[in-house]
Amino acid sequence: MPAPTISYVILTGALIIVIFTVQVFYFYVVNNVWAEMVRRELKELTDYVADTIANLYFLANSTNTNPSLEKTLNLPLEVEGSSYCIQIMQDAKTVKGWLEAKSWLTVSSWLPPGLRVNTGDPPPPKTEIILSNGRTVVAGCQRSSSNIYVWIAYKG
């Protein structure tokens, strides 16, 4: 029969190892849950922007004139306590959102086909990367001959 001291030392060492292992897995699970919550909130934002742009596109496409439409977006200041960015990608197929401090955490929402992003030629404003800084943001759409241009930009 082994000495009781050796058994206690082995069990105490095993208990310490189990405590540290549980902590590591706990933090891993908590970080994954947090990242999933942030992804869902960012997905709501990009869906909101993409739906607004789609609605503006359908309105502009339903007329025979060349209207310039803009809608003010109601965006929150933060997502789970962090700053975020929103951008219409250059191919005009998606709206992308990500956290400013954690750029690996990204989401995207689809836009209707047939749109173009303005590259800076007037009359539509040039699309920008929108940062969550409390400034007023507008989404816009304009038909120019047979093309429909979309953008998001700061108002004013």
Burial group, residue 82, by CB count within 10 angstroms (0-12, 13-18, 19+): middle
Burial group, residue 19, by CB count within 10 angstroms (0-12, 13-18, 19+): exposed
Is residue 53 very low, low, confident or very high in pLDDT (cuts 50, 70, 90)?
A: very high
pLDDT at 144 over 90: no
128 Cβ contact partners less than 8 Å away, ≥ 6 residues apart:
87, 151, 152, 153, 154
Q: Please give the share of the chain, as a percent, with pLDDT higher than 90.
A: 46
Quote the pLDDT of residue 125: 63
- What mean pLDDT is predicted for residues 61-88? 88
Is residue 71 very low, low, confident or very high in pLDDT (cuts 50, 70, 90)?
A: very high
Give the total number of structural domains in the chain. 1
Cβ atoms of residues 137 and 154 within 8 Å: yes
Classify 65 in phi/psi space as left (phi over 0), alpha (psi -120 to 50) or beta.
beta
Q: Please give the share of the chain, as a percent, with pLDDT higher than 70.
A: 94
Q: Return the amino acid letter for 81.
A: G
Domain, as residue range, for 10: 4-154
Quote the pLDDT of residue 123: 59
* Phi and psi, residue 82, nearest 5°: -125, 155
